[in-house]
Structure 1
Amino acid sequence: MQESQQKAPIHKISKEPTFYYFAYGSCMCPVDLKRSLGENVHPYVIGHGILKEYRLRFYGYSHLRKCGVLDVVQDSTSLVRGVLYELPWRFSGNLDKREGVCQEFYRREIVNIQHEGEIYKNVRTYVVVNKLLEEIPPNDWYFNVVLRGAITCGLPEEYCWHLFDKMHGLQQKSHQTSNIDKKNFKKTRNS
């Protein structure tokens, strides 16, 4: 496998300084990322990337979105698929702001990403700082944005189904627990 330090993709628009960014959650969706960065990011998509030795989890809770949000945790037996971008450096501050770096919600993590047989080094991604003890499900809006990004940017169909099953399973489990709690509350109240 070849290593790529600062490979210049064919789609590169200008000579301004750039950084590699690996998105695995809502930022996989270029339309949603545009909301935070202020301009179209489709031209900066390199493509499908693989983060080895990490696992996807919903260990973050967004008060803004009122739901669980994705995180990655180290796991030598797993991998996470996502979208590899080469973004202009001018987006760096807004990306940190979106990810809540100043509030210590997420922090930057530098990783290696595999894309089409090459290894991209010094790629920025974000991980939750204060991880929850158990996973919290996403709401429907977050669920849809994550899937839309995965499909739009060409992640393998099998992985898109994996994302769907993961998010849907957490939602179902949450609904079942919520219904059990409501039944127990009614029994206690009526006793």
Structure 2
Amino acid sequence: MSNKTGETNHSWVQPQNPAKVEYQLQQSLPTEPTFYYFAYGSCMCPVDLKRSLGENTHPYVIGPGILKEYRLGFYVYSPNRKCGVLDVVNDSKSIVKGVLYQLPWRLSEHLDKREGVSQGLYRHEIVDIHCQNQIYKNVRTYVVVNKLKEEVAPNDWYFNVVLRGAITCGLPEEYCWHLFNHMYHLQQYNQKQKKRSA
């Protein structure tokens, strides 16, 4: 447009912030149903979890979490892993540290399959998890159905996956050492038992 003096007047339109537009679009999209999942064993490792669930699980990690009034133990032998694998057992004086995920509901069946729910190996347990100064309610974890009387040692592969998950997802160094020592002593005990029976 021109005014009487021949000068051109421009009307500027402020462009919207692209990040804000994208955020608004995300807010308008329907959100996918999810569930909270607390991992304390090999599933702490997002790389190993991806192997079973078929997609990258790093984006679903909320952070390190604490399960109160439980302790870790290797009270089941896994036919798939061919070694002892982790379980949690009620214990009012203990805690278990692990990783809290918020997984899409579509992965629920895959997770159950990984944990051997249909074979009666593990079952769901609904727990409260302390994470980032909050308490998350109705969190799924898995507990062994038929617990052995004595712990069974993990093999080296399972040992390494559990430790890698604990370190990758930021569990405290002291707890990682606790995990290491527990698994190491079980392996040493297992080797002594084999020598005695040989």
User: What TM bracket, shorter-length normalisation?
Assistant: 0.7 to 0.9
Aligned residue for 2:113?
97
How far is the alpha carbon of 1:180 from its aligned partner?
1.5
How far is the alpha carbon of 1:117 from its aligned partner?
1.3
How far is the alpha carbon of 1:181 from its aligned partner?
1.4
Once the two structures are superposed, residues 45-83 of structure 1 have per-residue CA deviations (whole angstroms, 9 ceiling, x without a partner) of 001000000010000100111100000000000000000
Aligned residue for 1:127?
143
Output the TM-score relative to the length of structure 2: 0.84
Output the TM-score relative to the length of structure 1: 0.88
Alpha-carbon distance in 1 for matches of 2:139, 2:104: 13
> Aligned Cα RMSD in Å?
1.1
Q: What does 1:1-191 align with in structure 2 at a 5 Å threshold?
A: 15-182=31-198
Structure 2 portions without partners, runs of 5+: 1-29
> Which of structure 1's runs of 4+ aligned residues deviate more than 6 A?
none
How far is the alpha carbon of 1:156 from its aligned partner?
0.2
How far is the alpha carbon of 1:29 from its aligned partner?
0.3
How many aligned residue pairs are there? 170
Q: Percent identity?
A: 75
How far is the alpha carbon of 1:15 from its aligned partner?
1.7
- SS for the counterpart of 1:51 is strand
- SS for the counterpart of 2:31 is coil
Give the letter for the 1:48 counterpart.
P
Structure 1 portions without partners, runs of 5+: 1-13, 183-191
Alpha-carbon distance in 2 for matches of 1:66, 1:101: 17
